[in-house]
Structure 1
Amino acid sequence: METENLIGVGLYTPAEAGRLLRISPGKLSRWLRGHRIGNKFYPPLWTPEISLGDERIFLGFRDLMEARVAGAFIAAGVSAIKVRAAIDTAKEVIGETRPLSTNRFRTDGREIFLHIIQKDEDGEQREHLLNLFRRQFVFNGILDPILKTVDFGSDGNPLIWWPGGRRLNVIVDPARSFGQPIDAASSVPTAVLAAAAEQEGGIRGAAKAYDVSEASVRHAVEFETMMEQRLAA
C-alpha cells in the first residue's frame, strides 16, 4: 500500500496501537504475524489491512478495532484458537475480513452471537443470531463498553473511536491525523496540546496558542496522562 493511500485508513505501529489498546506490542505482532511454539506454527488471527512491502507490522484503524475486541475476548478466557475460529466463521457468514470490528455482535452475558439479517425466499428480511462460542465463557460487561465508545456507520463498520470515553471528547478518526488521538472539537492531536500545556505555561497558554478551549487542553492532558499510566502499569 502506498503512503498516499493511507488517508482514511489510519497507521499505527504495534507500540502505538498497544498504548491505545493496553495490549503489549509483542502480542499484537504475534496476532498479526503468527508465531511458532516448538514445531507448531500458529497462523495470524487476521491479515492486517496495511502492508508497506517489507517485514514490518502496521495496523490500520479497522485492525485497531478488531484487536480491541479480540483482546477483550482473550482477556475473558477465550483462547486465541477459539477467537480465530470465531473470526473465520463470521468472515464466511457476513463477508467482512475484520468482522470483530463491526457492530454485529450481541451477548446475553454467557454467549456471543453474530447478528445476521437475511432475505428469505419471499424476499422478506429475517434476523438471525449465530452462536459463536457455545456457552463456554462469561461475557457479561465485555461487549457493551466496547460498542458504546465507537460510532458505527449504517453498514455496521466502525467510523470513530472515543478511546478515553465520550467525556474527554478525544477521538480516533482514521480520516484525520492518520488516526492519531485528537481533540474532537479542533482536530488538534492530544499529544500536541498536552506538550503545549507544559511549554506555554499551563492550560490557558496552550489554549491561546492553538486557539482551542481550555477544556480541550485539560481533556488532552488528562488523556495523555492516562495513556502514560497505562504504559507504566
Structure 2
Amino acid sequence: MYTGTGIYSLGEAGRLIGVSSAQLSRWLFGYKCQKRRDGRAVAGYSAPLWAPQVTEGEASKTIGFQDLLEARFVHAFVSHGVPLLVVRRCLVSAQQLYGVPYPFTTLRFKTDGKSIFGEAVRQSVDEDPLIDLRSRQVVFREIIVPSLYAGIEYQGEHASKWYPVPKRDHIVLDPARHFGSPINEDTGVPTEALHASYLAEGGDERAAALTAATYDIPLRWVKAAIRYESQLAKASH
C-alpha cells in the first residue's frame, strides 16, 4: 500500500534530519499541554502540524518521505527561534494557497514563501505579544537559502528524491527504493550496511577496502558512505 512512500520510524527520521524523536512526535502526532483560559491553566491538546503519510499502525508512529523533508524545514524554522505558532500559521497558509499537504518543500514556496512567512508572523503577533515582528521577518532570509533546497530533486513541483550530501558521493534517499533509507545510488546498498561492515572489519583503511571488495563497490563510494554515517552519528549525540 505504501510502495514509493518511504517508511521511517521517528528514531530513524530524527537521525536523518537531526531532530529528536520526541520532537518529531510532538510535531506530527500532537501532544497534551497546558493552556490558559480565563486566566487559569487548563489541560489542552496541541494538534499535529499535519497528518503523516503513513496512517496504518499509528501506535508505532511511522512517517513517510514527504513528512521527513517537511519536518526538516520545520526544524530549520524552530532552530532559528521561530515560534511553533508562526510555523503552524505559515504551513496552513501555504497549504491553502497551493492546495498541497507539504508546501514547504515545493518549488513555489522557495520562490514566494517569504510573503507567506511574513503574513504568518503578523497574524501571530496579535495572539502572542512576545513574537517580535521585525526580527522574525529577517529570520526567513537566513532559513530559506539554497542549501535547504540543494539536493532535493523534483517531479513537477513536488520533491521526489533527496541527496543529503553532494551528488558526487552517490548517496540518495529515494522513497521508491529501500523504503527511502539512505543508499548508494548506483548499487542500492544501504549506507548503514556499508558503515556497519567497515566497523566490523576494524574501522580502518583496510576495513574500507575489504568492505568495497565485499560489496563490489568502488572504494570512494564506501568512504563516502562511511563519512555520511559518521556525520549522522556525530549529529545525534
Q: Is the 8 A contact 2:162 2:172 kept in 1?
A: yes
Q: Of the two structures, which has the highest relative contact order with CA contacts closer than 8 Å and spacing of 6 or more?
A: 2
**Is 1:33 matched up with 2:34?**
no
Partner of 1:11: 7
**Is 1:60 matched up with 2:56?**
no
C-alpha deviation, 1:107, in angstroms:
6.7
C-alpha deviation, 1:199, in angstroms:
3.6
Once residues 25 and 53 of structure 1 are traced to their aligned partners in structure 2, the CA distance between those partners, rounded to angstroms, is 17
C-alpha deviation, 1:145, in angstroms:
1.0
Once residues 30 and 54 of structure 1 are traced to their aligned partners in structure 2, the CA distance between those partners, rounded to angstroms, is 14
- Per-residue deviation, residues 56-107 of structure 1 (Å, max 9, x unmatched): 3111000001101111111112211111111111111111011112222237
Once residues 96 and 189 of structure 2 are traced to their aligned partners in structure 1, the CA distance between those partners, rounded to angstroms, is 39
Once residues 163 and 148 of structure 1 are traced to their aligned partners in structure 2, the CA distance between those partners, rounded to angstroms, is 8
Q: Is the 8 A contact 2:95 2:103 kept in 1?
A: yes
Q: Is the 8 A contact 1:171 1:182 kept in 2?
A: yes
Identical residues among aligned pairs (%): 33
**Is 1:153 matched up with 2:158?**
no
Matches of residues 130-169 of structure 1 in structure 2 within 5 Å?
132-133=120-121, 136-137=136-137, 138-143=139-144, 144-154=146-156, 156-169=157-170
Partner of 2:86: 82
Q: Is the 8 A contact 2:171 2:225 kept in 1?
A: yes
- Per-residue deviation, residues 119-169 of structure 1 (Å, max 9, x unmatched): xxxxxxxxxx99554553322342221111211122x11111112343533
Q: How many pairs does the alignment contain? A: 211
Backbone CA RMSD of aligned residues? 2.2
Q: Is the 8 A contact 1:185 1:216 kept in 2?
A: no
What are the ranges of 5 or more consecutive residues in structure 1 without an aligned counterpart?
115-128
**Is 1:71 matched up with 2:66?**
no
What are the ranges of 5 or more consecutive residues in structure 2 without an aligned counterpart?
35-42, 123-133
C-alpha deviation, 1:25, in angstroms:
0.5
Once residues 199 and 106 of structure 1 are traced to their aligned partners in structure 2, the CA distance between those partners, rounded to angstroms, is 42
Query: In structure 2, do the counterparts of structure 1 residues 68 and 19 end up closer, same or farther at CA, with 3 Å as the change threshold?
Result: same
Provide TM-score, normalisation by structure 1: 0.83
Matching residue's letter, 2:8: Y
Higher helix share: 2
Once residues 168 and 83 of structure 2 are traced to their aligned partners in structure 1, the CA distance between those partners, rounded to angstroms, is 33
Q: Which deviates more from structure 2 when the two are superposed, residues 80-89 or residues 131-140?
A: 131-140
**Is 1:223 matched up with 2:223?**
no
Once residues 73 and 196 of structure 1 are traced to their aligned partners in structure 2, the CA distance between those partners, rounded to angstroms, is 36
**Is 1:211 matched up with 2:216?**
yes
Matching residue's letter, 2:167: R
Partner of 1:191: 192
Q: Is the 8 A contact 2:86 2:120 kept in 1?
A: no
Query: In structure 2, do the counterparts of structure 1 residues 195 and 76 end up closer, same or farther at CA, with 3 Å as the change threshold?
Result: same
Once residues 218 and 84 of structure 1 are traced to their aligned partners in structure 2, the CA distance between those partners, rounded to angstroms, is 40
Once residues 77 and 111 of structure 2 are traced to their aligned partners in structure 1, the CA distance between those partners, rounded to angstroms, is 12
Q: Which deviates more from structure 2 when the two are superposed, residues 134-143 or residues 215-224?
A: 134-143
Counterpart secondary structure, 1:7: coil
